Amino acid sequence: MDLHRNWKPYARGPALLALALVMAFSPQILAAMGREFVFGDWVGYLLALFGLIGGISAVRESRRAFAVRVDEQGVTWVNGTATVVFPWAEVSRVSVEKRPNSGKLNRPSLLTVWTTDTVERALPATVQLTGLRGYQVADLHTVKEPADQVVAALRQYGGDRYPAAVN
């Protein structure tokens, strides 16, 4: 099973760039309407700068290569220019976890592959536990495939490495 990025991360960058453009010209737009910023024109320029920085970083992030494949060989993760292969023999477990500091009502969405400390990878581990390294390879909220299909593929190929959910 291949995981593909949803369209929403691609739309965030251009939307922020458009907002930055509107904010950059907001003093002139408001002047044409006979209004002005209460605190001065610098507010519009400052917001435009934040929108420009956020838009450029969002466009840059959305253009990075991203791919996750779950199959009988293991989990393959492409992030930017690095490709990391996690063969099932080297995977201790695979889990779908909550984001750190998320609320009680948030559902788990981070697909995390756990390996032993002895195996070095091209990318650094996201999470370190005693004897384990965790790699957060995907956020299930930002992929096209439904979480149920991802869980089914993990159970099919990962076997006992993907434990059943505990309520």
Q: pLDDT tens digits, residue range 63-97?
A: 887 889 999 999 999 988 889 999 998 899 898 88
Please check the confidence at residue 122 and state whether its pLDDT lies above 90: no
CA within 13 Å, CB half, 115? 21
Tell me which residue of 86, 71, 74 sits closest to 116, measured CA to CA. Answer: 86
pLDDT at 53: 96
Q: Is the pLDDT of residue 103 over 70?
A: yes
Q: Chain-wide mean pLDDT for the chain?
A: 86
pLDDT at 167: 40
**Whole-number Å distance between alpha carbons of 100 and 91:** 22
Per-residue pLDDT tens for 130-146? 888 899 999 888 888 98
